[in-house]
């Protein structure tokens, strides 16, 4: 297929909405990139620029070594010539057309011969397990079936790049899981360079080779799931990822510990004001340490116990500081608790930026 290079992309909507600011990313041939960010962060604008539905105000995009848009050089290839397949957030099937005609639509526009159209539509419909539905109207399909029709329509012209904007947003939790599996295995089989936009971190974990995190039009971090979870570039990324969410507290680094005021955390830390991030899975309440390297904190009090999925999580309180921690003991609210910390899981930030990157 083809790689996609995005270089210093900027999109300003008049008068001065900066939807994208200096976005650069290399998407490898056959790679699956998930773009993740909160509402209004620029995700849709980003893939619309790649599709050619939006013209950037600065920068360039290359498919392989062909520039599809380059503002400085005045290049802007029309969408139809870019050969991308796009699945929109609301799927946007034509209600008055049968499934066959919905899928065939991009080929009819290209004036492909009828025979070739029939062959292609049947092939892609079989692959997506909707071959028996070609004679129905969209309203006669389930949500998951409609979604597959939308994907079939994006794939039928054999695009070199597949773009999907929140394709699972209309599916219930169970369908979402099977839709993810389906999209992932299809992408692996076709080895098609794919960019999927979502605000759901679980979509990203399930699908991504790499994740690009964006906020206010600015790229926060690009990396594998492991890098994003374990080495967040800044406080925004640390807080956006992780379920249950990370504990984030202010403290002062003192060389061999971090001082939270009412609690000293015995880890090495540079001098000065810091933000400390500890995932609830890296701190726990138990009668004894689970691994020899884990450090014991002064005892805290169990303020309450809540369930996240099947995992009990305690809110442990010291004088002022409160931290969520996984529960491995049968204590109750009000009990005094032994708390242990996995040192290697602690993340330190200065002015919101990971101290690994701070200089
Ligand atoms: N045509 C437009 N004119 C003016 N501003 C726009 C236009 N389209 C988008 N914007 C603004 O650009 C910013 C990015 O919008 P975009 O649709 O890319 O966000 P998003 O990340 O896709 O959000 P969501 O998760 O809600 O779909 C927002 O502030 C939005 O209001
Ligand atoms: Mg959007």
Indicate whether 222 and 260 sit together in one domain.
no
Please identify, by atom number, the ligand 1 atom nearest to the C-alpha of residue 37: 21
The predicted structure's pLDDT at residue 183: 87
Q: Which of 240, 271, 299 is the last residue of a domain?
A: 240
**Which of 188, 211, 240 is a domain's end point?**
240
> Cα(22) to centroid of ligand 2, in Å?
19
Pocket test for ligand 1, best of 44, 50, 195, 198 (most atoms within 8 A of CB): 44
What domain range includes position 158? 4-240
Residues with CB under 6 A from ligand 1: 13, 17, 19, 37, 39-45, 199
Same-domain check for residues 259 and 223: no
Q: Which pLDDT value is given to residue 175? A: 77
Position 359 in a domain: no
Mutation choice for ligand 1 from 36, 42, 213, CB with most ligand atoms inside 8 A: 42
- Considering the domain architecture, whether residues 192 and 264 belong to the same structural domain is answered as no
Ligand nearest to the CA of 40: 1
pLDDT tens figures, 74-97: 999 999 899 999 998 777 899 999
Judge if 287 and 336 occupy the same domain.
yes
Claim to verify: residue 233 and residue 215 sit in the same structural domain: yes
pLDDT at 321 over 80: yes
Q: What is the pTM of this model?
A: 0.90
Ligand 1 pocket, mutate which of 41, 195, 196 (most atoms under 8 A from CB): 41
What CATH number is associated with residue 326?
2.40.50.140
For residues 171 and 277, membership in a common domain is answered with no
User: For the chain, how many structural domains are there in total?
Assistant: 2
pLDDT recorded at residue 216: 97
Determine which residue's CA is closest to atom 12 belonging to ligand 1.
19
The average pLDDT across 243-254 equals 94
* 256 and 164 part of one domain: no
Ligand 1 atom nearest the C-alpha of 217 is: 14
- Structure confidence by residue, pLDDT tens digits, 254-294: 999 999 999 999 999 999 999 999 999 999 999 999 999 99
Shared-domain flag, residues 231 and 296: no
Residue 359 predicted with pLDDT over 70: no
Residue 35, domain CATH: 3.40.50.300
Q: Which residues surround ligand 2, an ion (CB under 5 A)?
A: 44
Dist. CA 244 → ligand 1 center (Å): 28
Residue at a domain's end among 193, 213, 240? 240
**197 CA to centre of ligand 2 in angstroms:** 8
Answer yes or no: do 282 and 297 share one domain. yes
Q: Whose CA is nearest to atom 19 of ligand 1?
A: 40
Task: Categorize the per-residue pLDDT at 37 as very low, low, confident or very high, splitting at 50, 70 and 90.
Answer: very high
Provide mean pLDDT across the span 118-126: 92
Has residue 284 been placed in a domain?
A: yes
What local confidence, expressed as pLDDT, does residue 177 receive?
84
**Average pLDDT of the residues in 193-203:** 94
Q: Which two tokens stand for residue 14?
A: 């008049």
Mean pLDDT taken over the chain: 93
Instruction: Starting from the CA of residue 19, give the closest ligand.
Output: 1
């Amino acid at each position: 297929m083809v790689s996609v290079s995005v270089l210093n992309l900027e999109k300003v909507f008049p008068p001065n909405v900066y939807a994208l600011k200096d976005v650069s990313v290399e998407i490898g041939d056959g790679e699956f990139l998930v773009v993740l960010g909160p509402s209004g962060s620029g995700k849709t604008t980003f893939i619309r620029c790649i599709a050619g539905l939006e013209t950037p105000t600065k920068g360039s995009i290359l498919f392989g070594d062909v520039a599809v848009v380059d503002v400085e050089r005045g290049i802007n290839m029309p969408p139809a010539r870019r050969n991308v397949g796009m699945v929109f957030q609301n799927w946007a099937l034509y209600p008055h057309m049968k499934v066959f005609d919905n899928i065939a639509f991009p080929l009819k526009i290209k004036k492909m011969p009828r025979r070739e159209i029939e062959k292609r539509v049947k092939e892609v419909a079989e692959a997506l397990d909707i071959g028996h539905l070609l004679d129905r109207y969209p309203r006669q399909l389930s949500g998951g079936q409609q979604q597959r029709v939308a994907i079939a329509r994006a794939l039928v012209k054999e695009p070199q790049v597949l773009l999907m904007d929140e394709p699972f947003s209309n599916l219930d939790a169970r369908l979402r899981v099977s839709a993810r599996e389906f999209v992932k295995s299809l992408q692996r089989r076709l080895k098609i360079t794919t960019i999927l936009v979502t605000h759901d971190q679980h979509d990203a974990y399930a699908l991504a080779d790499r994740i690009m995190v964006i906020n206010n039009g600015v790229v926060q971090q690009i990396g594998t799931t492991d890098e994003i979870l374990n080495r967040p570039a800044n406080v925004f990324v640390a807080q956006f990822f992780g379920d249950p969410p990370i504990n984030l507290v202010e403290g002062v680094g003192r060389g061999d510990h971090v001082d939270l005021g009412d609690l000293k955390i015995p880890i090495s830390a540079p001098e000065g004001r810091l933000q400390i991030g500890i995932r609830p899975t890296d701190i726990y309440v138990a009668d004894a340490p689970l691994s020899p390297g884990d450090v014991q904190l002064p005892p805290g009090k169990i303020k309450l116990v809540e369930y996240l999925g099947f995992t009990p999580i305690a809110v442990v309180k010291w004088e002022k500081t409160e931290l969520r921690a996984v529960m491995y003991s049968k204590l109750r609210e009000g009990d005094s608790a032994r708390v242990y910390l996995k040192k290697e899981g602690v993340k330190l930030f200065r002015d919101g930026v990971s101290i690994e990157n701070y200089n």
